[in-house]
Amino acid sequence: MKIVLFTDLDGTLLSLSDYSYDVALPALAELKKRKVPVVFCTAKTLAENEYYRAKLGIEDPFIVENGGAIFIPRNYFSFEFPYSNEQGHYYVIEFGARYDELRAALDAIRSETGFKITGFGDMTVKEVAEDANLSLDQARRAKEKVYNESFIFDEPEDKEPILFDKVQDKGFNITHGGRYYNIHGINADKGKAVKRLTELFRREYGAVMTIGIGDSKNDIPMLKAVDQPAIVKRLDGTWLDIYPEPENLYKAEGVGPAGWVEVVEKFIIS
């Protein structure tokens, strides 16, 4: 049976404190040796995903901006399949709304409520770098958004339900992972993208077992779409709460990439 690994990046494969991944390199090398696809499924942009794919030597498809689109390298699958458009050396299957629509919705909500909402589009590269603890190059890549907008919601927690209702009234969805909220298209979530890509893997390989690893709320759709969900500990030593919790959910003892390695060793390379 072909194993396919879907993984979040920030706080999972990458340390949330400094985006390091050195502890995961031996496990990644073993996955490559065993030809296990490693599919990034993240809030990150195309540019950010390409950066880490190059750093880690990964050549598999990937899911960007919380399920906004799937990018599949040309000739990766041996058959033809429907896709939205071609971009560079990728076939792209799109689920998300366009960035200008999302920005307009946030502007309207800000005007209607007076909420303090600061999106990446409102921030300079330097401001994003300082706020997200990124280098300037990393911040530039983070700002190259197409299918979602990350933003800071600087209001009391009891205002959050109003924000969520407003976003949904505008015809969009909202997720919250780590520091940032994300507004995205109604049809875009990690779970839908995982299911579509899993269909393609099954068409290619027949029997497929999917494993998903995450750490935050925006990973829940992905975790519910895989055969074996797993979560890693967060920096504060807690795990993500999922309700209802999948019966076979695995909770790693390790934080971030250490927990990621624990999951890979338990279910794939033990």
Helix, strand or coil for residue 252? Answer: strand
Buried b (16+ CB within 10 A) or exposed e, 161-175: eebeebbeebebbbb
Handedness of CA 70, 171, 48, 176 (dihedral sign): negative
Q: Which residues contact 127 (CB under 8 A, 6 or more apart)?
A: none
End-to-end CA distance of the chain: 16
AA identity, residue 250: Y
Longest dimension (CA), the chain: 54
Helix, strand or coil for residue 220? Answer: helix
Using the 8-state DSSP alphabet, how is residue 50 labeled? H
Q: Which of 8, 10, 60, 189 is catalytic?
A: 8
Helix, strand, coil shares of the chain, percent, nearest 5, are 40, 25, 35
Annotation says 18 is catalytic: no
| Cβ atoms of 65 and 145 closer than 8 Å | yes
| Cβ atoms of 214 and 231 closer than 8 Å | yes
In terms of Cβ atoms closer than 10 Å to its own Cβ (0-12, 13-18, 19+), residue 151 is buried
* Type and span of the H or E element at 100: helix 99-113
The catalytic site residues sit at 8
